[in-house]
């Protein structure tokens, strides 16, 4: 997939190929990665919001970007900083028999707020798949209000690799 990668002030914009995208980061490919600063914004084509990131390694034509999910700490009582998003998401029950589509309204490393029209159809134990990114993340709904829910993300080796090893239990 393609993205426009820029510095935080958007003074430098580079078209890049994106590889291995996940909620934690991606690889970007371009002959111009050396021109990018360490702090970047990644606008993946098809996603409505740019993602803040930090280049953690680079070579002549490729760089690794770790996504930074944060907002000012005084805006949230939780330990992790959140960023407002509008990412399309598919949320499934534990057995992946029922899937409901919606949006991630905000996200942090430890959780997110999801907005779903059919929230009542889902149990508390869920899987999240963000459109445009690879893999799934296991989560637990910790509160519900109308069509919104708070989800605690249950990061583990199993959930990070679920998309690659589906059906190999």
Domain boundaries, the chain: 2-67, 73-161
Name the band, by pLDDT with cuts 50, 70 and 90, for residue 24. Answer: confident
> Model confidence over 32-52: pLDDT tens digits?
888 888 889 888 887 777 888
Question: Environment class of residue 57 by beta-carbon count within 10 Å: exposed (0-12), middle (13-18) or buried (19+)?
Answer: exposed
**Average pLDDT of the residues of the chain:** 80
Fold matches, 2-67 and 73-161:
yes
Choices 3.30.360.10, 2.40.50.140, 3.90.70.10, 2.40.10.430: CATH for 2-67: 2.40.10.430
3-state SS class at 73: helix
Euclidean distance between CA atoms 36 and 131, whole angstroms: 26
Q: Count Cα neighbours of 163 within 13 Å in the Cβ-side half-sphere.
A: 16
What average pLDDT does range 131-151 have in this prediction? 87
Q: For residue 167, is it left (φ>0), alpha (ψ between -120 and 50) or beta?
A: left
Sign of CA dihedral 120, 121, 126, 129: negative
Report, in angstroms and rounded to the nearest whole number, the Rg of the chain calculated over CA atoms: 16
List the one residue out of 20, 17, 45 whose CA is nearest residue 30: 17
Q: Is the pLDDT reported for residue 73 higher than 70?
A: no
Question: Which pair of tokens denotes residue 135?
Answer: 């893999």
Question: Which pair of tokens denotes residue 142?
Answer: 């910790």
Do the Cβ atoms of 58 and 33 come closer than 8 Å?
yes
The CATH class of 73-161 is mainly beta
Listed range (13-17, 55-59, 161-165) with the worst mean pLDDT: 161-165
pLDDT at residue 169 in the model:
35
pLDDT at residue 62 in the model:
93
Residue 149: other Cβ atoms inside 10 A? 23
> Model confidence over 100-140: pLDDT tens digits?
999 998 888 788 899 998 888 888 999 999 887 778 889 99
């Amino acid at each position: 997939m393609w993205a426009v990668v820029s510095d935080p002030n958007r003074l430098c914009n580079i078209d890049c190929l994106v590889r291995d995208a996940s909620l934690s980061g991606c690889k970007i490919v371009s002959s111009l990665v050396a021109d990018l600063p360490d702090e970047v914004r990644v606008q993946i084509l098809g996603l409505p919001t740019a993602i803040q990131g930090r280049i953690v390694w680079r070579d002549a034509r490729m760089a690794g970007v770790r996504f930074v999910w944060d907002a000012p700490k005084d805006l949230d009582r939780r330990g992790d900083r959140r960023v407002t998003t509008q990412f399309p998401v598919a949320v499934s029950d534990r057995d992946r028999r029922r899937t409901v589509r919606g949006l991630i309204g905000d996200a942090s490393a430890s959780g997110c707020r999801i907005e779903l029209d059919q929230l009542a159809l889902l149990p508390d134990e869920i899987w999240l798949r963000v459109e445009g990114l690879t893999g799934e993340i296991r989560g637990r709904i910790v509160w519900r209000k109308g069509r919104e829910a708070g989800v605690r993300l249950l990061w583990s080796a199993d959930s990070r690799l679920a998309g690659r090893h589906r059906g190999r239990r």
